[in-house]
A and B are shown apart, each in its own frame.
Chain A
Amino acid sequence: MDKMPAWADAILVPLISLLLAAILSALVIIGIGEDPIAAVKLMVSGALGSTYGWGYTLYYATNFIFTGLAVAVAFHASLFNIGGEGQATLGGLGVAIICLALPWPHWSLALLAAIGFSALFGAMWALIPAYLQAKRGSHIVITTIMFNFIAAALLNYVLVNVMRPVGSMDPASARFSEAVHIPTLHELLAPIGIEFSKAAPANVSLLVALLACFLVWLLIWRTRLGYQIRAFGKSESAAKYAGINPVRITVIAMLISGGLAGLMAINNVMGEAERLVLNATEGAGFIGIAVALMGRNHPFGILLAAILFGFLYQGGAELALWTSIPRELIVVIQALVILFTGALDNMVRIPLEKLFVRFRRSSAGGSSR
C-alpha cells in the first residue's frame, strides 16, 4: 500500500516545500530591512499588472519551459543534466549561423530552420557527455558541468574572432536581417483585436514551447521509447533484464534533453536579441533545474513552474529598479526552491507520510468497531 495518496505526493509536497522557500525568502527580505508584503505587491504589479509585464514574464517563462523540459527528460532516465546552460549556448550558435548564412524569404521558414539547428547544436553538445556516461561510466554531472565552461570559452572565441563584424568592438555577431524577425505577441494578437504591449519581447516561441510541453508528455507517457526511458530511470538492472539497451537509452535521452535546451535559443537569440551576444543564456539553463524539480518532471508542472519563475524574474527586475533590493534576491529564491523541492524533499515527505499513515490507521480502527 502506498503511504500517501497520489495527489498528496504530486501537489501537497511541492506546495509545502514552496511555502517553506517563500517563508525563508520573506525572512531574507525582512533581514535586509525591506517590507516583504510591499515587495510582493510591487512584483505582482510589475510582472502581471500590465501586458508589458506579462510580455516579459512570458518571455522568461518560455526560456524556462525549454530548459525545464530538458532537465526533466534527463531526470526520467535518472540522468542529471546540469549542462543546459552550455547546450542552450550552442543552440544560440546554431540559430545565429543559420539566420546569418542564408537570405531567408520569410520568417516562418527561418523559424523552422532555426528550430532544427538550435535543437541539433544543443543535442550535439550533449552527445559527448552522454556517450562517455554510457560507454565509459564518466559521471554525467561532472562532464556536463565541464561542457558548460567549454561552451562559454567556445562562444567567447567565436564571437571575438569569427562572427564579430569588421570594425565592431562589441563581442557579438552581426544583427540578423529584418526577414528573420519572428512575430512578437503584439504582432500576433493585434489582428484579432487584442492590445498587447509593443515593447515586450514575448514572441511566437511561446507557442513552440507549449507544443514542446505536449510532445514531451506524449513521448514520456504515451510512447514505447518514453516507457523505456522511465523504466531505465527507475531501475537500470531491471531495464537491462527487459531487453532495454542502456547505452541507447542514455544517449537518446540526453540527445532529447540537449535538443530541448538548445531550442531555448529561438526565444532569446532569434526572438529577443536578434543577434548572438556573450552570455545570452543568462543562467536560464540552471533555472531549468529548479523548474523541473518544482514541476515534478511533468510538463504541466513545468509549465506552471516556468511561469512562476518568469514572474519572479520580471518581478525581481522591477524590485531592483524601484527598491534597494538587488536582483540577486531571485538567485536566493531559486536556491531555496532547489533546496526544499530537491535536496530537502524528504524533510517534508517523511513527516507527511507518517501523518497520513496515522490518519489512515485511526480511521480504519474507527470503522472496524
Chain B
Amino acid sequence: MDLLTIVQILDSTLRLATPLLLACLAGLFSERAGIFDIGLEGKMLAAAFFSAATAAITGSVWLGLLAGIASSILLSLLHGLASITFRGNQLISGVAINFLAAGMTVLIAQDWFSQGGRTPSLIGRGRFEQITLPFADAVESTPIIGPIYAELLSGHTILVYVSLLAVPLTWWILFRTRFGLRLRAVGEAPEAVDTAGVSVVGLRYAAVMICGVLCGIAGAYLATGLQAGFVKDMTAGRGYIALAALIFAKWRPWYALYACLLFGFLQAIALRYQNIDLGVFVIPVQVMDALPYILTVVILAGFVGKAIPPRAGGEAYVKER
C-alpha cells in the first residue's frame, strides 16, 4: 500500500466522519442535558431532504442549509414537546421521529419532484464547493507533506471544517461557560439546578435546539456536500452510528472526534475494499459494517472502561411541590 492510497483512504475517512461527528456532537448536547435522543437519524434525514429540495428549487445551497436546519429544529421541538413538556418516554419519541422523517421525506419528495422519492441531482451552486486551502497546488509535489496537505486537508467543503471546529467549540461551551456548566448539571442533578433558581425546562429546550441545529448541518452535508441530492433513506443508519460513537466517547467532545474518525475510517475501508485478504484469513466486508456496533456493545459492556451516561438521562423532571 503506497502513501497515495493511504492518503486517499484517510481523505475519505474525513468526509465520512463529518456527518457522524456533527450528529454525535448534537447527541452530546442533548444527552448531557438529560434528554436521550435516538432520533438523530430522523433529524438528519429530514434535514438532508429539505436542504437538497430547497437547493434544487432555489439553486442556492446556503438557503438549502437553512431549510435543513429549520426542519431539524422542528423535529427537535417535537421531541422537546413530548419528552420535556409532556414528560413522555424519550426513547419512544425518538423512534416516532425516525419513522416520521423516513415516511414524510419520501412522501413530500414524491409530491414535489415525482422522481420516486428523490430530489433532482444538484449541480453548480446547489452544492457546497470544495475549498482549496492556500498553497495547496504549490506544495502538492513536495514528498509526503505535499499529498497530505493537498489531498487530505485541502479540498473539502466548508462543512467539514465547520464540523472539526465544532469539537473545540463544544468543549469550550460545555466546560468553560456558565451555560455549559448548567447544561451538564441539568443532566446530572436537575433538582439542584432547579433549587438554584435556573429553569430546567429552559435549559433542556436549549440543549434540544442546539442538537437540532447540529443534526441539520449533518443532514445538509450528506445531501449537498457528500452527495449531490437526496435519495430515500440516505442516512443509512448514520444516526445510530453517531449514537454509538457518543457512547464510545463516553459523552466527551474530543473523544467524540476520535470515535467518529475511527468509525469513518471503518466506513472508508468498507467502501474501498470488499473483502480484506490478510493471507491467513479473509475479513468479509460485513464485519467492517458491523464493527462500529460490535465495538459499542463491547464498550457498553464495560470490558474496556465503563461508559456511564449522564445520571438524570432519560427521565423527565417533575418539580417538587
A residues adjacent to B (C-beta < 8 A): 28, 31-33, 80, 82, 128, 132, 136-139, 141-143, 145-147, 149-150, 153-154, 156-157, 160-161, 286, 289, 293, 324-326, 328-336, 338-339, 342-347, 350
Alpha-carbon separation in the docked complex, A160 to B98 (Å): 29
Alpha-carbon separation in the docked complex, A339 to B89 (Å): 10
Write the chain B residue with the least CB distance to A80: B91
A150 — which chain B residues lie within 8 A by C-beta? Answer: 290, 293-294, 297
Contact call B99/A338, Cβ cutoff below 8 A? yes
Contact call B88/A289, Cβ cutoff below 8 A? no
Contact call A154/B301, Cβ cutoff below 8 A? no
A145 and B289 contact, Cβ closer than 8 Å, known pairs A132-B297, A139-B300: no
What are 16 pairs between A and B in contact, CB < 8 Å?
A32-B108, A32-B111, A82-B91, A132-B301, A141-B91, A142-B247, A143-B297, A145-B240, A146-B296, A153-B287, A153-B289, A326-B106, A328-B110, A334-B99, A343-B86, A343-B93
Question: Smallest CB–CB gap between B256 and chain A, Å?
Answer: 16
Q: At the interface, yes or no: B206 with Cβ under 8 Å from chain A?
A: no
Contact call A338/B92, Cβ cutoff below 8 A? yes
Contact call A157/B286, Cβ cutoff below 8 A? yes
Write the chain B residue with the least CB distance to A33: B111
Set A161, A289, A333: member contacting B284, Cβ < 8 A: A161
Set B102, B111, B243: member contacting A331, Cβ < 8 A: B102
Question: Smallest CB–CB gap between B82 and chain A, Å?
Answer: 4
Set B91, B106, B117, B300: member contacting A143, Cβ < 8 A: B300
Contact call B95/A132, Cβ cutoff below 8 A? no
Question: Smallest CB–CB gap between B45 and chain A, Å?
Answer: 12
Q: At the interface, yes or no: B13 with Cβ under 8 Å from chain A?
A: no
Question: Smallest CB–CB gap between B32 and chain A, Å?
Answer: 16
A139 and B89 contact, Cβ closer than 8 Å, known pairs A32-B111, A326-B107: no
A82 and B240 contact, Cβ closer than 8 Å, known pairs A143-B297, A336-B100: no
In addition to A32-B111, A153-B286, 14 A-B residue pairs with Cβ atoms within 8 Å of each other are: A31-B111, A80-B89, A147-B297, A156-B289, A157-B284, A325-B107, A328-B103, A328-B104, A329-B103, A329-B107, A335-B99, A335-B103, A338-B95, A343-B92
Alpha-carbon separation in the docked complex, A326 to B113 (Å): 13
Contact call B103/A156, Cβ cutoff below 8 A? no
Write the chain B residue with the least CB distance to A330: B103
Q: At the interface, yes or no: B97 with Cβ under 8 Å from chain A?
A: yes
Q: Which of B18-58 contact A (CB under 8 A)?
A: 38
Alpha-carbon separation in the docked complex, A145 to B38 (Å): 10
Contact call A289/B95, Cβ cutoff below 8 A? yes
A347 — which chain B residues lie within 8 A by C-beta? Answer: 86, 88
Do most interface residues of chain B lie in helix, strand or loop, or is the interface mixed?
Answer: helix
Write the chain A residue with the least CB distance to B284: A157
Question: Smallest CB–CB gap between B88 and chain A, Å?
Answer: 4
Alpha-carbon separation in the docked complex, A253 to B53 (Å): 45
Alpha-carbon separation in the docked complex, A201 to B93 (Å): 33
A342 — which chain B residues lie within 8 A by C-beta? Answer: 88-89, 92-93, 95-96
B240 — which chain A residues lie within 8 A by C-beta? Answer: 145-146, 149
Classify chain B's interface size: 35 or more
Write the chain B residue with the least CB distance to A131: B301
Contact call B297/A335, Cβ cutoff below 8 A? no
Alpha-carbon separation in the docked complex, A305 to B83 (Å): 24
Contact call A142/B87, Cβ cutoff below 8 A? no
Contact call A154/B286, Cβ cutoff below 8 A? yes
Q: At the interface, yes or no: B302 with Cβ under 8 Å from chain A?
A: yes
B103 — which chain A residues lie within 8 A by C-beta? Answer: 328-335
Write the chain A residue with the least CB distance to B293: A146
Set B38, B96, B284: member contacting A335, Cβ < 8 A: B96
Alpha-carbon separation in the docked complex, A80 to B95 (Å): 11
Q: At the interface, yes or no: B222 with Cβ under 8 Å from chain A?
A: no
Contact call B99/A138, Cβ cutoff below 8 A? no
Contact call A343/B38, Cβ cutoff below 8 A? no
Set A142, A160, A330: member contacting B296, Cβ < 8 A: A142
Contact call B293/A149, Cβ cutoff below 8 A? yes
Contact call B104/A332, Cβ cutoff below 8 A? yes
Alpha-carbon separation in the docked complex, A345 to B90 (Å): 12
Q: At the interface, yes or no: B209 with Cβ under 8 Å from chain A?
A: no
Question: Smallest CB–CB gap between A178 and chain B, Å?
Answer: 32
Question: Smallest CB–CB gap between A346 and chain B, Å?
Answer: 4
A138 — which chain B residues lie within 8 A by C-beta? Answer: 297, 300-302, 307
A346 and B88 contact, Cβ closer than 8 Å, known pairs A33-B111, A138-B300, A286-B95: yes
Alpha-carbon separation in the docked complex, A260 to B91 (Å): 22
Question: Smallest CB–CB gap between A85 and chain B, Å?
Answer: 12
Alpha-carbon separation in the docked complex, A346 to B90 (Å): 13
Q: At the interface, yes or no: B168 with Cβ under 8 Å from chain A?
A: no
B301 — which chain A residues lie within 8 A by C-beta? Answer: 132, 136, 138
Contact call B82/A343, Cβ cutoff below 8 A? yes
Set A82, A146, A286, A324: member contacting B99, Cβ < 8 A: A286
Q: At the interface, yes or no: B120 with Cβ under 8 Å from chain A?
A: no
Set A33, A136, A142, A345: member contacting B243, Cβ < 8 A: A142
B82 — which chain A residues lie within 8 A by C-beta? Answer: 339, 343-344
Q: At the interface, yes or no: B9 with Cβ under 8 Å from chain A?
A: no
A154 — which chain B residues lie within 8 A by C-beta? Answer: 286, 290
B87 — which chain A residues lie within 8 A by C-beta? Answer: 346
Set B86, B102, B114, B289: member contacting A346, Cβ < 8 A: B86
Question: Smallest CB–CB gap between B193 and chain A, Å?
Answer: 22
Question: Smallest CB–CB gap between A277 and chain B, Å?
Answer: 16
Contact call B38/A141, Cβ cutoff below 8 A? yes
Write the chain A residue with the least CB distance to B104: A332
Q: At the interface, yes or no: B305 with Cβ under 8 Å from chain A?
A: no
Question: Smallest CB–CB gap between A284 and chain B, Å?
Answer: 13
Alpha-carbon separation in the docked complex, A286 to B42 (Å): 15
Write the chain A residue with the least CB distance to B102: A331
Alpha-carbon separation in the docked complex, A24 to B137 (Å): 55
Contact call B88/A344, Cβ cutoff below 8 A? yes
Q: At the interface, yes or no: B244 with Cβ under 8 Å from chain A?
A: yes
Question: Smallest CB–CB gap between B29 and chain A, Å?
Answer: 18
